Amino acid sequence: MHPLATRLLPLAVLAGAGIAFSGWTAWNTVKPRAVPPVAEPPPQAAYAARVSASGLVEGDGEDTVVGVPEAALVAEVGVRIGDVVKPGDLLLRLDDRLVRAELAVAEAELAAARSRVARLESLPRAEDAEPLAARVAVAEAQLADAKVKRGRIELLFQRNAISADEVDARRAAETIARAQVASAKADLAHVQLPAWGPDLVAARAEIPQVEARIAAIRTRLSRLEVRAPRAGTVIGAGAMVGELAAPGDRDLVVLAALDRLLVRLEIDESQAWKLRPGAGGRAWVRGDRAHVVELAFERIEPKAGPRRAIAGVPGERLDGRAVQVLYRLQSPPAYYRPGLMLESDLDASAAAGTATASAVVP
């Protein structure tokens, strides 16, 4: 065989094989194929026009964060998470030993004030006059004795039997005895008088002042027993015995009404025009669209605000404004609880292309 033919034959065989493989590949690519069946059809929207949104489950009405009136140690915690309470049920009791001591002091002061008033109102008293009357009799007897002695001294002085100094001393003694009689009679007359009006008025005025202070202390004492302001379920109970509770603590006890559950949905401002007040919707837990809960329109919040971080994941967009819409969950499953995140479709079919002013929240 010619040498040139020997060299070109392998190349020709490779070129033919390449052309055949290319043709087979092109034909295999364009030939019709059977479409395999769908294992699980994708979920279909329940409404022809809809607004999709996500939000959190909450109780009917705002959660009640129960606070304390003053800083004090927690002496008793009366509830646990999940307890159902009625208005007036004990939630917390703070340490009240110091306040009770103040109450005891005030009650003692009240008893003393009433005793002073009773003593003044009982004047004059016969038992107070008897000792003073005896003192008057003694002073008069001493005065009579001083007069007799002074008379004798003066007779002796007239006979030049004694000096003038002795006469002066007896006369001074008589003067002192006379003053003592006057003093005793004045004291006796004083105790026989009724209480002085201004003293009685001042003593009586102390009683309502102390009573008002006692009432204030008892009010403070009752406030140290923190009781439920409303009926509801305890969804938060972070207080512990022995810890210091202070005004502003938001995790002591939290109440919520769980007899009716709502979901608060955020609608982006670009979709707000599609809202149809009164229309229903459907909601489901993220990733579990097989279990759908019907929604009943509750209300639209009157003011739009900035978007909130719902999921709290990094990169979540918070720019833009949003309208908050509340829907009531109809017959929700038992595991639905406040704080659970739901996805939803809201019926906007009647509002598609015909937005009304009532659908847009100012």
Edge to edge, the sheet with strand 90-94 lists 225-227, 90-94, 72-77, 244-245
pLDDT for 41: 59
Please identify, in words, the CATH class of the domain defined by 64-95+226-254. mainly beta
pLDDT for 313: 56
Q: What would the pLDDT profile of 222-249 be if each residue is shown by its tens digit? A: 999 999 999 999 988 999 999 999 999 9
User: Residues near 248 by Cβ (< 8 Å), separated by ≥ 6?
Assistant: 67
Secondary structure letter of residue 181 according to DSSP? H
Average pLDDT over residues 20-25: 77
Q: What would the pLDDT profile of 166-211 be if each residue is shown by its tens digit? A: 888 988 999 999 999 999 989 888 888 888 888 889 999 999 999 9
Q: Is the peptide bond before 333 cis (omega within 30 degrees of 0)?
A: no
Edge to edge, the sheet with strand 84-85 lists 64-66, 253-256, 232-237, 84-85
Higher confidence at residue 270 or residue 13? 270
Residue 264 three-state SS: strand
Q: What would the pLDDT profile of 101-157 be if each residue is shown by its tens digit? A: 999 999 999 999 999 999 888 888 878 888 888 999 999 999 999 999 888 888 888
| Rounded CA separation 295/342 (Å) | 11
Residue 243 CA: distances (Å) to CA of 69, 81, 185, 351: 15, 18, 68, 55
| Rounded CA separation 98/320 (Å) | 53
pLDDT for 129: 83
φ/ψ of 360, rounded to 5, equals -105, 130
Mean pLDDT of the chain: 85
Q: Are 79 and 227 in contact (CB under 8 A)?
A: no
pLDDT for 105: 97
Residue 220: pLDDT band with limits 50, 70, 90: very high
Residue 362: pLDDT band with limits 50, 70, 90: very low
The residues facing 227 across adjacent strands are 90
| pLDDT value at 58 more than 80 | yes
pLDDT for 360: 37
Specify the amino acid at residue 75: A
Average pLDDT over residues 319-333: 88
| pLDDT value at 352 more than 50 | no
Higher confidence at residue 307 or residue 266? 266
Higher confidence at residue 96 or residue 360? 96
Give the chain's length: 362
Q: Are 149 and 173 in contact (CB under 8 A)?
A: yes
Residue 40: pLDDT band with limits 50, 70, 90: low
| Rounded CA separation 44/67 (Å) | 47
Specify the amino acid at residue 1: M
| Rounded CA separation 293/261 (Å) | 12
- Helices then strands, counting H and E runs in the chain, come out as 5, 15
DSSP 80-136: -TT-EE-TT-EEEEE--HHHHHHHHHHHHHHHHHHHHHHHHHT-S-HHHHHHHHHHH
The CATH homologous superfamily for domain 50-61+257-359 is Efflux pump adaptor protein, beta barrel domain (2.40.30.170)
Highest mean pLDDT (candidates 37-51, 80-94, 282-296) = 80-94
* Least confident among 174-188, 215-229, 247-261, 311-325: 311-325
Specify the amino acid at residue 216: A
* Least confident among 46-55, 75-84, 204-213, 276-285: 46-55
pLDDT for 314: 57
Residue 359 CA: distances (Å) to CA of 275, 301, 327: 5, 12, 15
pLDDT for 355: 39
| pLDDT value at 160 more than 70 | yes
| pLDDT value at 351 more than 50 | no
| Helix/strand/coil percent split, the chain, to 5 | 40, 20, 35
